[in-house]
Structure 1
Amino acid sequence: MSPDASPDPYEDPVRFGQRVQIFRTRRGMTREQLAGLLGHHASWVKKVETGSMKMPRLPEILRIAEILRVGKLNDLVGAEHSPEIDLFVGPGHAKLPAVTAAINAFPLNTDRAAPPAAHLGARLAKAWSARHLAPNHREVLGDLLPELIRDTQLLVRQSESVVERRAAQAALSEAYALAQFFVAYQPDAALLWRVAERGMVAAQESEDPHAIGVAAWLTAQAHRDSGPAHFDAADAITLDTLRFLEPLLGDAPTEVRAIAGALQFEAGYTAARRAESGTAWGWWDKASRTARRLPAGYNHPVTSFGQEIMGAHAVTVAVELRTGGESARQAARAEADVIQSRPRRARHRIEQARAYFLDGQYETALSTLDQAHAAAPETIRYNGYARRIVLEEAESRVPGRRRRAAELAVKIGMLAA
């Protein structure tokens, strides 16, 4: 080849260790941070990245992919080692284009009158109920969201007084909150951020404490799920909103006190992701005290926060802290059937499965994923943690576990039947 010729980009393919270093750097993580989350010393990460040790086994590779939020397995290991397997992003719902079009559009030129505010409020309440009770909640929301978003946008534009406009902005923020549940884990990260930001702007315009709390709760989750480089942003939103809400809580409505409790747990969740055990459990305790002061049987309409959810939240903290034995104990203690929301119950089952998997109870983990599928098939279909367990167990040396994992892979759409 002539020295002036363009080099072949595939002549010297990027090694696995180089890929790990690139993704780690993009996430803003140090070798020490990655090593701590993996349970290794920083020297182990250095050996991986420099290629002085062989590529780790699949369980370790999947854990690295989870921490670094790598979307496709072959992006991490190289196309020559793996088929194209999505790890954390769902396949994309059939109704995503219609929801996207409604989010992207603005009703600037229309003669159609907005529905009455009370009518829109009833439709939003119905949508939340469907979101919690339907096994395939994205299917239901996909039908409801396009018109809900358009109509709440119209209501804002056609409001005739400051009071009406603020109430309409609160309704619009609520519609965006519903949309964020639909868009989460779909293959369009930019759309998720657009929804989160618009929801927060509408909530701030409304000056409604509950709307602001919900928008902050969702925005903090979007930051946290973007990886360690965004944990500070998640904390800032959570703590700023709690400081805003705390002076109002003395005589606040139940839903405002509940969203404050949900935000307290979010602070603990992010601390657990940082591996800060004392801080994580301290926030869990604070959220638990808030939950006990709510009416018995109460569940927040957006977050499901209440007394019944705290056991599930304890499982999440233990799992994120990577404490296998404690995770399994919390998973065995926490009741799933008391959680009224089907997608939230399925999410809890997935967290229980992660706990059992961490503790080496692989059969129980697979059985628990089956229970998650029974509660809400769409939830497990779009959950990266569940997909990771199934993918790993599909290579188990135990025939029964391989067979069960293969059956789950078909159920949740990872493989063709």
Structure 2
Amino acid sequence: MRLATLRRWRGMTQAQLAGLSGVTTSYISMLENGRRLLDRRSHISSLAAALEVSETDLVGGPHLTPDAEQARPHTVIPPLETALTTNRLHDAVVVEARPLGELARLVRETTTLQRQANYIALVDSLPNLLDELHFHVSHGREHEQRQALDLLIETCSTATMTAKHLGYPQLAHIAATRAVEAAHVLDTPVYRARADYLRIQTLTHGRHGWERNLHVASQTADRLQELRRGDAMSLCPLGMVTLTAGLAAASALREQEAYNWLEEAEALARHVPNSPKSNWGSFSMENVRIWRVAIQVELQTPPKQVRSSAYEVDIDRFWNSRIAALHADVGRALARDPSTGDDAVPWLSQAERYAPQAIRNNARVHEAVSVLTERARRNASGRALRGMAARMGVPH
């Protein structure tokens, strides 16, 4: 396992690593022996910091296999990186672009593809959109520049989430930073809030990362309180930042604070339509229920309670990526406890069916499948699980 390999590479004993990370020696032993999952955000960040490696080094980057649904999404990354790093906000590389009306339609299409976790379909469109929108920002009249900046923020949101979910946090941060630059030019509270949400989503963790992320999210939420004076849709970015603060609090092991943020998000959600597919960021009461599950998983709430919370979500209201994330969270929670491990497989399998490209590239799901596969090997069972393990490149 990577944890044991990295620990030995650093010349540490389990006790030394425990002392530096705040994780008990017995828990580290169970992680290295495959009896516990290394999928909790707080554990990943503290162990990576103690070992002085990145979180990707610890939990793994893309586990590329011959499976096309897992490997092909990564072909979008090189051209996406090129588009983001060679263009500047008012200095485009390309010298021509399609009309903004056509680009607006394509932006809507790429947003939908990302929400469906169909990253393969983004390969031919997303980098070109970034190029052409930068052209309009650089060369358009003032009203065209503002429209292009609006579309650029949305496109950078798609780029941010695509890179993040495929395991490229630094590229995700570059995309989010470009959205922040565009929002600064537009200089309206809603645009700034949307861009701030993206930036918070891509913050690194490090030794004190979740405490720091919580501080940033809390400060941002306080600064965005002016959005309460706007219409219902203005509340959506504030709501998403509030939910992010709740997850950061859970990851920083501040349980009461996490639930306080969750209650604040619920209060905001009462003032917006319960329409995840229509609202910005899917913010709605239904989406708050999904985030509740994610927060419970991070707080290591008993698996059966997590599953019960998931049953309260009307999944038909959501895009495939969010449905898959919900099933993955419940599956990971169930996988942590050997007594509910068998129940985890249907949830993880369902997550994979909804969004195979996202789930087969999810490091925390990979960890859950690895541990479950090891248990199944010991019990000489788990045909369905071994099939999923094969697709994810997990030894089985």
Residue of structure 1 in register with 2:255 after alignment: 277
Report whether the alignment pairs 1:349 with 2:327: yes
Deviation of the 1:271 alpha carbon: 0.4
Residue of structure 1 in register with 2:139 after alignment: 158
Residue of structure 1 in register with 2:290 after alignment: 312
List runs of 5+ in structure 1 lacking aligned partners: 1-12, 25-29, 77-83
Q: State TM-score, norm by structure 2.
A: 0.81
Distance, in Å, in 2 between the alignment partners of 1:60 and 1:322 is 12
Across the aligned residues of Structure 1 and Structure 2, the Cα RMSD in angstroms comes to: 3.4
Q: State TM-score, norm by structure 1.
A: 0.77
Question: Structure 1's 201 and 232: CA in aligned 2 closer, same or farther, altered over 3 A?
Answer: farther
Distance, in Å, in 2 between the alignment partners of 1:380 and 1:54 is 25
Deviation of the 1:393 alpha carbon: 1.2
Report whether the alignment pairs 1:193 with 2:176: no
Deviation of the 1:305 alpha carbon: 1.8
Distance, in Å, in 2 between the alignment partners of 1:180 and 1:250 is 28
Structure 1 or 2, whichever has the larger Rg, is 1
Deviation of the 1:320 alpha carbon: 0.5
Report whether the alignment pairs 1:324 with 2:302: yes
Report whether the alignment pairs 1:34 with 2:29: no
Partner of residue 17 from structure 1, selected from 8, 12, 18: 12
Report whether the alignment pairs 1:99 with 2:77: no
Structure 1 residue matching 2:358: 3-state secondary structure: helix
Distance, in Å, in 1 between the alignment partners of 2:167 and 2:236 is 31
Question: Structure 1's 314 and 188: CA in aligned 2 closer, same or farther, altered over 3 A?
Answer: closer
Deviation of the 1:190 alpha carbon: 3.1
Deviation of the 1:322 alpha carbon: 1.2
Runs of 4+ aligned structure 1 residues displaced above 6 Å come to none
1:13-48, Cα deviation, whole Å (9 max, x unpaired)? 6466358967x8xxxxx74x633xxxx4xxx47x97
Deviation of the 1:304 alpha carbon: 1.9
Partner of residue 43 from structure 2, selected from 52, 67, 71: 67
Report whether the alignment pairs 1:289 with 2:289: no
Structure 2 residue matching 1:361: 3-state secondary structure: helix
Residue of structure 2 in register with 1:268 after alignment: 246
**Would you say the 8 A contact 1:366–1:405 is kept in 2?**
yes
Deviation of the 1:129 alpha carbon: 2.0
Residue 281 of structure 2 aligns with an amino acid whose one-letter code is T
Structure 1 residue matching 2:102: 3-state secondary structure: helix
Residue 276 of structure 1 aligns with an amino acid whose one-letter code is R
- State the aligned residue count: 369
Question: Structure 1's 61 and 342: CA in aligned 2 closer, same or farther, altered over 3 A?
Answer: closer
**Would you say the 8 A contact 1:346–1:375 is kept in 2?**
yes
List runs of 5+ in structure 2 lacking aligned partners: 1-7, 65-70
Distance, in Å, in 1 between the alignment partners of 2:310 and 2:217 is 30
Question: Structure 1's 267 and 228: CA in aligned 2 closer, same or farther, altered over 3 A?
Answer: farther
Residue 105 of structure 2 aligns with an amino acid whose one-letter code is A
1:74-117, Cα deviation, whole Å (9 max, x unpaired)? x99xxxxxxx99635454612322222222222646542x4443
Report whether the alignment pairs 1:368 with 2:356: no
Q: Relative to total residues, which structure has the larger helix share, 1 or 2? A: 2
Q: Determine what percentage of the aligned residue pairs are the same residue.
A: 20
**Would you say the 8 A contact 1:346–1:380 is kept in 2?**
yes
Residue 34 of structure 2 aligns with an amino acid whose one-letter code is L
Distance, in Å, in 1 between the alignment partners of 2:293 and 2:282 is 16
Residue 346 of structure 2 aligns with an amino acid whose one-letter code is S
Give runs of aligned pairs for residues 196-207 of structure 1, distance below 5 A.
196-207=176-187
Question: Structure 1's 111 and 149: CA in aligned 2 closer, same or farther, altered over 3 A?
Answer: closer
1:301-335, Cα deviation, whole Å (9 max, x unpaired)? 55222122222111111110112256435445333
Report whether the alignment pairs 1:209 with 2:189: yes
Question: Structure 1's 20 and 87: CA in aligned 2 closer, same or farther, altered over 3 A?
Answer: farther
Report whether the alignment pairs 1:393 with 2:372: yes
Give runs of aligned pairs for residues 139-150 of structure 1, distance below 5 A.
139-150=120-131
Report whether the alignment pairs 1:335 with 2:313: yes
Residue of structure 2 in register with 1:182 after alignment: 162
